[in-house]
Structure 1
Amino acid sequence: MITIDILIIGAGVVGLATAAHVAQRFSSASVTVLERHSKFGQETSSRNSEVIHAGIYYPPGSLKARLCVAGNRMLYDFCHEENVPYQRIGKLIVAADEHEMATLHKLLVTGRENGVHDLRLLDADEIACLEPRVSACGALYSPSTGIIDSHRLMAQLEYRALRSRVIIAYSHEVVALAPKGAATMVVYRTPSGSEEKITCRCLVNAAGLNADRIAAGIGIDCDTAGYCLSFCKGEYFALPQSKARVLSHLIYPPPFKDLRGLGIHVTKSLDGRVRLGPNAFYVSQLDYSVDAAHAVKFYESIKPYLPFVELKDLQPDMAGIRPKLQGPGQPFHDFVIHREEERGLPGVINLIGIESPGLTSCLSIAQMVGDLIAETMYS
């Protein structure tokens, strides 16, 4: 049976960022990534708004706040250095009335506490200068919010990892795990259907939608640990180019109070297309279809601030599913990024509930995982 130093389960954006980081940081370590799909980023990493968030929404001191603010700067630097397409187009969080303006004032305070120092409140005239077709009495402007080509980002992270001699095994699905002394034994199914084993000194669980299943597979009681995931689906509808071209920024409403989502908003892609979404509702199965009947609710949600959009403009586009630790009706839950030493698994690092702002935070998460690996293998 092969024994390696570091095994990463999952080749989404966080798994790839972690592989690239640890292979460069621990140059003598052997690093392997197992991914059940035939290529990288087939789930949450490729089905999202592709937004580089600033770090406005999350409770001060939370991992989501800290890693998003740090990740924002790291990701812009990475994109510049590695020629990954991006645009720092900015975001307007708009208010329809004084009640929503009060929410924006609170977001301004939270954002500044988190270290986002370029936020600015705008009045209706200032909004009109930036977005003449948007209707709002005020807005919170975030110039450091942007958009990115997430596929190119993952491709570059994969390239960096491979250049550092990481082995990435696609179509290899983990089917069983077991502690083996201070190490972990992993059983995986190969593309041919046969099962093989590998042992690792350090296991990084970056399995996204299946992260709780991987944690349970190594013997962790996910109910007790608070690791059980809920699937939260978000659908998107596209606008025609005639309406898309009049918008220059990302346009968001105030977020839900429980932060289960950020509300149906305007997202722009690098090629100029505009999507509306996502909504947020819990599902029990992975299903990426878009219910065309939901267009009415989308239209009703965006009509107050996009009065020029008509119901007939909305066309079903795509859907994504997020692995949320926050179940229906529950309050905000932070990322779990934890070395399981107190559970007798010092070589196991679990990444659970890595949803938004996971894309923005991928490099800062990788750095944090690297710190935990240093404690595990090099302390």
Structure 2
Amino acid sequence: MADVETVVVGAGVIGLAIAAALAREGREVIVLERHDRIGSETSSRNSEVIHAGLYYVPGSLRAKLCLAGKDMLYRFCAENGVPYRRCGKLLVATRQSEVERLEAIAANADKNGVEGMRRLSAEEAKSLEPEVTCVAAYLSETTGVIDSHNLMVALEGHLSACGGQVVLNSTVTGIAGPDAGDDGDFRLTILSAGEASQLTARSLVLAAGLGATGLGRMLDYPSDYRVPQTYFARGHYFSLSGRAPFSHLIYPMPDGAWLGVHLTLDVAGRAKFGPDIEWVDSVSYEFHDPDGARRSSFEREVRRYWPGLPDGALQPDYVGVRPKIYRQGEPVADFAIHGPQAHGIDRLVALYGMESPGLTSSLAIGDLVAGMLR
């Protein structure tokens, strides 16, 4: 008999949402987290935006889970006291050559069933945000921001209330699949405080974000299935010294997989700009701008839509790393949520490439994975 019914590896927002969904169904759940606190990687180093679902390919998991997750997330925040603001965002074309792209995004949003999209002239945009300069815009009324830390604390609370738990400082160093023994359980080797231990589980969920590929490759698969490769994309954020003269988020036109240097507001109204995108071979959270070139690039990008940005107002803030399952220059890949039909191992769900809109989609992803294991 297994030590625990279900183990979830990774206590980011998606892992916690999955664990809470499973625990609500009456499952015994343990979440293993290699760091000393929950959500210390991608989940706490992002823009904290509740996305409307504008950019994603119609019919994709990104699109469907974002739209479902957005509504679930607003309800969850209201019911659990998680700070959030449904502030809306302006998607702006800053030159005439960008208007075609602006309209294409709006058409894509319509295909996805996004509500609350309103076309604005330059004058109408300026009436909403006097500091903004653009030739045309769309207002996305359902976009918002959230306190991601408090969201994760609330999810952990739901898990605990249903009898589950998060075990910190626990690194999974080995996984043996259910075919390795006659009991059909997963066998995990865990390193904690310098000591190795064993844990068996009937079901296993890999929701480890940046470390998902390494964990997935610990298993032997009964087919020619290949674990998706994770590529790391660093993004720097600058904060604004002083209060921003904006009440909405401001997003320029995207450039491929990059949404541009956008302006976001946290739940307290503090403004931050970013992220940029830098493809790297390893994970590092060091803010790198030794000669000020990054700050200058940010100022140039921001002044496309906010010409009044004061000199020296941008301050280095933080760095996030996004787990992508496509290389620089390749088309944006969909979420990879792989169950037995994909890889051939019963009672295993593995998630790869869970970047934006993973935060927005987290509760919907939790329900999806719970259904896959039901």
Length-normalised TM-score, structure 2:
0.95
Partner of 1:132: helix, strand, or coil? coil
Q: Could you tell me how far 1:219 is from its partner in structure 2?
A: 2.7
Give distance in 2, aligned partners of 1:108 and 1:342: 33
**Contact 1:295 1:311 (C-alpha < 8 Å) held by counterparts:** no
Q: How does 1:295-374 map to 2 (within 5 A)?
A: 295-341=295-341, 343-374=343-374
Partner deviation per Cα, 1:154-187 (whole Å, 9 max, x = no partner):
0000000011100211111100001133331111
> For residues 336-355 of structure 1, what are the alpha-carbon distances to aligned partners after superposition, in whole Å with 9 as ceiling and x for unaligned?
01103454311110110100
The match for 2:102 is 104
The worse-fitting range, judged by mean Cα deviation, of 343-352 and 51-60 is 343-352
Match of 1:248, as an amino acid? S
Give the match's secondary structure for 1:67: helix
| CA distance in 2 between partners of 1:270 and 1:61 (Å) | 31
Q: Confirm or deny: 8 A CA contact 1:340 1:350 kept in the other structure.
A: no
Residue 270, structure 1, aligned to residue 267, structure 2:
yes
Q: What do residues 224-262 of structure 1 show as CA deviations (whole Å, max 9, x unaligned)? A: 6361000000000111115x1x111100001123xx221
Do 1:8 and 1:34's aligned partners in 2 also have CA atoms closer than 8 Å? yes
Q: Deviations over 1:58-79 (max 9, x none)?
A: 0001100000011100000000
Specify the alignment match of 1:217 in structure 2.
218
Contact residue 252 and residue 262 of structure 1 kept, 8 A:
yes
Note the alpha carbon deviations across 1:7-32, whole angstroms, 9 max, x for none.
1000000011111111002x1x2211
Contact 2:216 2:227 in 1 (8 A): no
Distance 1:196 1:148 in 2: 37
What is the CA–CA distance in structure 1 between the aligned matches of 2:116 and 2:264, rounded to whole Å?
21
User: Is the 1:299–1:310 contact (alpha carbons within 8 Å) kept by the matching residues of 2?
Assistant: no
**What SS does structure 2 have at the residue aligned with 1:162?**
helix
1:37 match: 35
| 8 Å CA contact 1:338, 1:349 repeated in 2 | yes
Please point out which of 177, 183, 186 is paired with 2:185: 183
Out of 90-99 and 354-363, give the one that drifted further.
Answer: 90-99
Could you tell me which residue of structure 1 aligns to residue 253 of structure 2?
A: 254
Aligned match of 1:377: none
Cα distance in 1 for residues equivalent to 2:311 and 2:351: 40
Counterpart mapping for 1:54-69 below 5 A: 54-69=52-67
Match of 1:90 in 2: 88
SS at match of 1:217: coil
Q: Answer yes or no: is the 8 Å Cα contact 2:177–2:219 preserved in 1.
A: yes
Deviations 1:315-349 (A, max 9, x none): 10101000001211211101001103454311110
Report the AA paired with residue 265 of structure 1: H
Q: How many residues align?
A: 367
Tell me, what secondary structure is at the counterpart of 2:22?
helix
For residues 342 and 355 of structure 1, the distance between their equivalents in structure 2, rounded to whole angstroms, comes to 20
User: Gaps spanning 5+ residues in structure 2: where?
Assistant: none
Q: What amino acid is the match of 1:185?
A: R
Q: 1:8 to 1:102 in 2, by over 3 A?
A: same
Which residue is equivalent to 2:69? 71
Deviations along 1:190-239, whole A, 9 cap, x unmatched? 23x21111111111000010000110011359996361000000000111
Instruction: Name 2:199's counterpart in structure 1.
Output: 198
- Letter aligned with residue 167 of structure 1: Q
- 1:131 and 1:329 map into 2 onto residues whose CA distance is 34
Q: 4+ residue stretches of structure 1 with deviation over 4 A?
A: 220-224
**2: distance between equivalents of 1:279 and 1:83?**
32
The residue identity in structure 2 corresponding to 1:254 is: M
Tell me how far apart the structure 2 counterparts of residues 220 and 336 of structure 1 sit (CA, whole Å): 17
Q: Percent identity?
A: 40
What is the deviation of 1:310? 3.2
The SS at the match of 1:19 is helix
Distance 1:223 1:283, change over 3 A: farther
Q: Match of 2:319, as an amino acid?
A: A
Tell whether the 8 Å contact from 2:185 to 2:202 is kept in structure 1 after alignment: yes
User: Do the aligned partners of 2:225 and 2:343 also contact (CA within 8 Å) in 1?
Assistant: no
Q: Distance in 1 between matches of 2:327 and 2:342?
A: 26
Give the Å deviation of 1:3.
Answer: 2.5
- 1:217 counterpart letter in structure 2: M
Letter of the 1:240 partner, please give it.
S
Aligned CA distance change for structure 1 residues 271 and 183 (closer, same or farther; 3 Å): same
Paired amino acid for 1:179: G
Asked if the contact 1:2–1:197 (Cα under 8 Å) also holds between the matched residues in 2, the reply is no
Structure 1, 174-183 or 100-109: larger mean CA deviation: 174-183
Q: What is the rounded CA distance, in whole Å, between the counterparts of 1:54 and 1:324 in structure 2?
A: 21
* SS at structure 1 position matched to 2:347: strand
- In 2 relative to 1, CA 300–156 (structure 1 residues): closer, same or farther, beyond 3 Å? same
Q: Structure 1, residues 129-178: CA drift from partner, whole Å, max 9, x if none?
A: 11001100111110100000000000000000011100211111100001
Give, in whole Å, the separation in 2 of the partners of 1:150 and 1:346.
32
Deviations 1:96-141 (A, max 9, x none): 1222111111111110111102111100111011100110011111
Root mean square deviation of aligned Cα: 1.6
Q: Which residue of 1 aligns with 2:238?
A: 237
